[in-house]
Amino acid sequence: MIKPFSEPFALFQDWMAEAERSEPNDANAMALSTAGADGYPTVRMVLLKHVDERGFVFYTNYESRKGLQLIANPRAALLFHWKSLKRQINIEGAIAPVEDSEADAYFASRDRSSRIGAWASKQSRPLAGRFELEKRIAEYVAKYPVGAVPRPPYWSGFRLTPERIEFWSDKPFRLHERSVYYREEDGWRNQMLFP
């Protein structure tokens, strides 16, 4: 039985802690679904980097396809699927950029090669060949040979502020358990759903 909480974040943290113990790789991997101004949806995997009562944070290049879609249509959905636990969590809500100080702190914590890669990659744009990327990496390694690598102005994070969070747990005979939380003005409302 999915245990009810007054708000969904405690349950999310419980499930994430279990996933971190059981999943072989990237328990924080989540499918991010977006739609651009044209309304066409796309989905890809990203990594959750922070969660608290304000929402779920991930980072990207704002000039990438997902970055441009999120700027044009600041709503998205996230899906965590943990096969080893037979569980998933679906989260829907509004998107907003994180504060510069938050993005700076996370960027500084990344491996140096990842920071160089953020400068070198023109994410989602056409690439003539692998050599073009390797050349750009070499240029930024030369530009930042030692010391700090600053955060590019087009690289930052987004926070999804959830309006709906659904917890799903596999049960025999497809009689799955579904518990959904809806954000309301004075907090959260929880409801069970038919499978």
Is 75 among the residues known to form the active site?
no
Distance between terminal CA atoms of the chain? 13
Q: Is the dihedral of CA 189, 190, 194, 195 positive or negative?
A: positive
Q: Are strands 75-82 and 155-169 parallel, antiparallel or unpaired?
A: unpaired
Q: Is the dihedral of CA 73, 16, 45, 102 positive or negative?
A: positive
Query: Angle formed by the axes of helices 112-120 and 130-143, to 10°?
Result: 120
Active-site option among 54, 174, 178, 189:
174
Q: Is the dihedral of CA 117, 120, 126, 127 positive or negative?
A: negative
Catalytic residues, which ones?
Answer: 174
